[in-house]
Homo-oligomer: A and B are copies of this chain.
């Protein structure tokens, strides 16, 4: 019976914990994470980043590694760049009173990577960048063990983290999940470096942006974790941007969908694409603070109970623009919209929304997407679609009012539009109903803060 209980314990109550760069930047932070992990026996798999910034002006180890790899690729003397990396680990080793051999191993590892450089520069760059997480994981495993908590560094490639061979932009291969599920059987605490895996050919390859978040999400999905705890440097996600609304309430619980809608316009806690594996496998995600682990954090779940009038949060972001196109009888012209979107696709421009009137259509997009292509796009629209008018409005901000019950509540739109009108904010665009859980407003950038305060007052008092 004891065995069965233990087995259930292992399978059902395992937490995957991920620590970002600032949480593993120095000895002090690493001590905190050891305390956090060992405070809960379910925290069995720990994903770590490379050491991040210790203060505002500091360099991230990943950036030092990019400088080192670049020096090597340029055939320059790279000893000082190498020393800068090794010194960061040496300081941590010293402060944690780990054996010097730890740093010697790291230096040997780096020289080995440089020495075995092949003909593919992207692959070499990935190998060098990945060493940041890889060596930090080895060091942190030693630190856990030294403190009396047996921990084991796991090599991603050996454990089955198999990636496509798109260096710098790799994707996990489907077979990885089954292989990585074996990590459930480890008796020691697993210290798993984030950000990279191995191609089938055995080369190191890295994920795109948010790499360590991706690793954690994959492991959480593979071992069917009870929860994926993502430790950052904020207590929780807030219902509004605390820079605009200093007393914004924390969000205790929200759904993946709410998180997506909020993340879209300014909720930059993590890169939302990174957590897809966890979302797909319906693993709850908890955002917590390494520096205040006692705070409950924000739990993000597949579904939650909700009140119809309840709003989860209000997010906002500057930097949008709109292309307006007018053409009499446009809506009788078969293929007009499709041809317009084809122009954007040809020019490799991502757009956000395409609200339309009767004889007009707008494309809402991020200003950085349009950028220098504006002239080309306007010319192509003019020549290929023969509109009566085409113009571009810059300086728009988007606001999202997000809540699972939004679609079912009479009067939510009235509450929002009233609040904006009372504060003198002109609404450039409203888009409600496409999504069941959000209302979107476009306002001028100069009105954004005023609009957030107005909506915050209306929905959160």
Contacts and interface: CB of A to CB of B under 8 A. Distances in A.
Contacts of A338: 338, 341-342, 344-345
Interface residues of A, number: 65
Contact of A334 (B350, B354, B408, B428): B350
Contact of A427 (B418, B429, B433): B433
A23 interface: no
Contacts of A150: none
A358 B357 CA distance: 20
Most buried by B among A335, A341, A358, A440: A358
A63 to B, nearest CB: 26
Interface in A411-460: 411, 413-414, 416-418, 420-421, 424-440, 442
A329 interface: yes
A276 interface: yes
Given A338-B338, A338-B345, A357 B435 contact: yes
Interface stretch (A79-87, A257-265, A379-387): A257-265
A57 interface: no
A260 B430 contact: no
Interface stretch (A11-19, A119-127, A182-190, A359-367): A359-367
Contacts of A260: 328, 358-359
Contacts of A357: 261, 431, 434-438, 440
Contacts of A279: 328
Given A261-B357, A337-B341, A345-B334, A432 B434 contact: no
A28 interface: no
Contacts of A421: 410-411, 413-414
Given A328-B279, A354-B354, A358-B261, A430 B413 contact: yes
A55 interface: no
A355 interface: yes
B434 A427 contact: no
Contacts of A410: 420-421, 424-427
A146 interface: no
Q: Quick one: copies of this chain in the complex?
A: 2
Contacts of A425: 410
A353 interface: yes
Nearest to A432: B430
Contact of A442 (B256, B335, B433): B433
A176 interface: no
A291 interface: no
Contacts of A442: 433
B362 A433 contact: yes
Contacts of A430: 413, 430-433, 439
5 closest residue pairs by CB, A with B: A357-B435, A429-B433, A411-B421, A355-B434, A338-B341
Contacts of A345: 334-335, 338
